[in-house]
């Protein structure tokens, strides 16, 4: 299996050099393969260094634009402030490694803004993301069929579940696939061939079934929330409702294949109290955020309260890995970057909400862009509560789409009002 990934790494490296700036279209596929590779390779292996190498090659082709996008200023400030904290971190190596994950994924938004200046390019991206869904489903299927991949952490101590292993993407929760499903209606609006549209919808449904089998609440909710927000904004809501209805019919038709396994895992999670109305009271992420907030706001250590400690490296002390790291983004940021860093990060979202007006519109094209833009923002906020700031694949897609959609919005505004 390792040799297969070595071959894939070599292919992606060649593609990045050959296709230059157009490799941005292939990047989502590369990220999914990278996620899968971490089920085979250990931490700090070739996989760890391959991803930043590919990103830096891609950034090289956009080097003239990387730090010149005016609406990106809050993100530039946050990344600069975070880098200064990394320099003074007592866990410099681990802070810097995690900082790269944050930096690289957030800067993809610049490339999305610069590159996607035509409908044709977005159509090409849509086709690539449909391929991503196909790869995600194939890898998950292979994992179930041949027992490849990591064990779901919540089944490790279970004597009830016969098969604890999942697909190769199980370790990353299939969040990237969830995001793609959430923006599928927007993507399909750029595809003209009906066969390809139906194929994309079918793949989205099949992939969502594998996401259900992972029984991760956030990954399950991302597509649902995304589709609801998108439907709220677009004038023609009938298409979304019709698509959801037929999707439900297809899922019910396929249910005999996966229902037993789904109920097995759902019941185990239910016994853990993960689906109770007050589940958050026993949730580690809730506790850690509360504890961190109390510690930071106490101002017993003013430097810690203002600037944080060991940014992005909460799981390490004296170069020794701790049993648990902070998970939710609010906890990670307020503990690692302090009150100042957390405020700077929040200002990013204030800026995003100011870019495209929130109000509804009867303009079909603007409604589509608004729906997609706020779908991405809402998904980003929801994923942050679960902890997503270090998930490069998901975050790269989020910022790629923010840049892409805003570029289309500005181009349309200039077109109608030169």
DSSP output for 263-290: HHHHHHHHHTTTTSTTGGGG-HHHHHHH
- Enumerate helices (H) and strands (E) in the chain, giving the number of each: 17, 2
Say what the pLDDT of residue 156 is.
Answer: 46
Give CA separation, 414 vs 118, 361, 393, 410, 418, in Å: 14, 18, 32, 6, 5
CA neighbor of 171 nearest in space, from 142, 155, 149: 149
Residue 163 has pLDDT above 70, yes or no: no
Give the pLDDT band of residue 403 (cuts 50, 70, 90): very high
pLDDT at 159 over 60: no
The residue ranking higher by pLDDT, 285 or 55, is: 55
pLDDT at 239 exceeding the cut of 80: no
**Which of 44-48, 244-248, 336-340 holds the top average pLDDT?**
336-340
Burial of residue 129 (number of CB atoms within 10 Å: 0-12, 13-18, 19+): buried
Q: Could you tell me if 328 and 389 are in contact, meaning their C-beta atoms sit under 8 angstroms apart?
A: no
Instruction: Supply the angle between the helices 46-61 and 27-37 in degrees, to the nearest 10.
Output: 170
Kindly state the average pLDDT of the residues 333-337: 92
Q: What's residue 278's pLDDT? A: 54
Check whether 72 has a pLDDT greater than 60: yes
The secondary structure element, H or E, covering residue 151 is none
Element (H, E) at 309: none
- Residue 226 phi, psi dihedral angles, 5° rounding: -60, -45
User: Coil, strand, or helix at residue 233?
Assistant: helix
Q: Are the beta carbons of 76 and 67 closer than 8 angstroms?
A: yes
**Mean pLDDT of the chain, nearest integer:** 85
Is the pLDDT at 164 greater than 70, yes or no? no
The packing angle between helices 364-386 and 175-182, to 10°, is 160
For 17-27, b/e burial (b = at least 16 CB within 10 A) is eeeeeebbbbb
Share of the chain above pLDDT 90, in %: 51
Nearest residue to 104 via CA among 68, 132, 62: 62
Distances (CA, A) of 110 to 84, 209, 356, 369: 22, 33, 17, 18
Q: What is the pLDDT of residue 40?
A: 76
> Given a cut of 80, is residue 314 above it in pLDDT?
yes
Contact 409, 372 (CB under 8 A): no
| Size (the chain), residues | 418
- The first and second tokens of residue 360, run together, are 């509804």
- Report residue 58 as tokens: 């891609």
Q: What pLDDT, on a 0 to 100 scale, did the predictor assign at position 270?
A: 67
User: What is the per-residue pLDDT for 409?
Assistant: 95
Residue 276: the pLDDT is 57
**pLDDT score for 165:** 47
| Maximum average pLDDT range among 60-64, 149-153, 273-277 | 60-64
What average pLDDT does the segment 124-153 reach?
A: 81
- Between CA 320 and CA 317 the distance in angstroms is 5
In whole angstroms, give the CA distance from residue 383 to residue 392. Answer: 13
| Residue 157 pLDDT grade (very low, low, confident, very high; cuts 50, 70, 90) | very low
Q: How far apart are CA 188 and CA 201, in angstroms?
A: 9
Residue 325 scores a pLDDT above 80: no
**Burial (CB count <10 Å: 0-12, 13-18, 19+), residue 139:** buried
pLDDT digits (tens, 9 = 90+) for 7-51: 999 999 999 999 999 999 999 999 998 888 877 777 777 778 899
pLDDT tier, 318 (very low <50, low <70, confident <90, very high otherwise): confident
Kind and range of the H or E run holding 320:
strand 320-321
Pick from 76-90, 96-110, 258-272: least confident:
258-272
Mean pLDDT of 364-393: 92
Angle at 291 between CA 103 and CA 276, to 5 degrees: 95
Tell me the mean pLDDT in the region 378-400: 92
Helix 284-297 vs helix 329-336: crossing angle, to nearest 10? 30
In this structure, are residues 251 and 133 in contact, taking their beta carbons and an 8 Å threshold? no
Instruction: Using alpha carbons, select from 345, 364, 380 the residue that is nearest to residue 412.
Output: 364
* Per-residue tokens: 218: 């956030």
| Range scoring the smallest mean pLDDT among 34-43, 84-93, 162-171, 216-225 | 162-171
Read off the DSSP letter of residue 314: T
């Amino acid at each position: 299996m390792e040799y297969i990934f070595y071959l894939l790494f070599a292919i992606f490296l060649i593609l990045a050099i050959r296709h230059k700036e157009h490799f941005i279209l292939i990047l989502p596929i590369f990220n999914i393969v990278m996620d899968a590779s971490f089920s085979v390779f250990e931490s700090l292996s070739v996989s760890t260094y391959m991803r930043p190498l590919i990103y830096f090659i891609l950034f090289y082709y956009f080097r003239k634009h990387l730090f010149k996008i005016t609406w990106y200023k809050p993100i530039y400030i946050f990344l600069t402030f975070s880098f200064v904290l990394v320099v003074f971190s007592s866990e410099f190596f681990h802070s810097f490694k995690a900082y790269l994950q944050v930096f690289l994924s957030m800067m993809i938004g610049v490339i999305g803004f610069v590159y996607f200046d035509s409908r044709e390019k977005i159509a090409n991206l849509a086709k690539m993301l449909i391929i991503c869904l196909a790869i995600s489903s194939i890898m998950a299927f292979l994992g179930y069929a041949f027992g490849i991949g990591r064990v779901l952490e919540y089944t490790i101590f279970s004597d009830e579940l016969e098969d604890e292993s999942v697909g190769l993407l199980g370790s990353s929760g299939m969040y990237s696939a969830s995001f793609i499903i959430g923006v599928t209606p927007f993507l399909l609006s750029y595809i003209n061939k009906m066969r390809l549209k139906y194929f994309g919808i079918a793949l989205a449904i099949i992939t969502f079934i594998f996401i259900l089998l992972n029984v991760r609440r956030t990954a399950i909710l991302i597509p649902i929330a995304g589709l609801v927000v998108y439907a709220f904004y677009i004038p023609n809501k009938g298409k979304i409702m019709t698509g959801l209805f037929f999707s439900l019919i297809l899922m019910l038709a396929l249910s005999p294949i996966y229902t037993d396994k789904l109920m097995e895992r759902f019941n185990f999670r239910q016994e853990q109290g993960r689906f109770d109305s007050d589940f958050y009271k026993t949730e580690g992420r809730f506790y850690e955020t509360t504890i961190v907030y109390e510690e930071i706001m106490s101002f017993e250590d003013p430097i810690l309260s203002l600037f944080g400690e060991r940014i992005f490296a909460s799981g390490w002390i004296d170069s020794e890995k701790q049993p648990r790291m902070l998970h939710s983004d609010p906890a990670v940021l307020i503990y690692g970057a302090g009150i100042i860093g957390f405020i700077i990060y929040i200002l990013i979202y204030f800026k995003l909400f100011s870019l495209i007006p929130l109000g509804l519109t009867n303009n079909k094209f603007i409604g589509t862009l608004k729906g997609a833009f706020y779908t991405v923002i809402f998904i980003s906020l929801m994923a942050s509560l679960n902890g997503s700031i270090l998930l490069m694949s998901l975050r790269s897609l989020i910022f790629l789409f923010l840049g892409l959609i805003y570029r289309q919005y500005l181009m349309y505004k200039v077109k109608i009002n030169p």
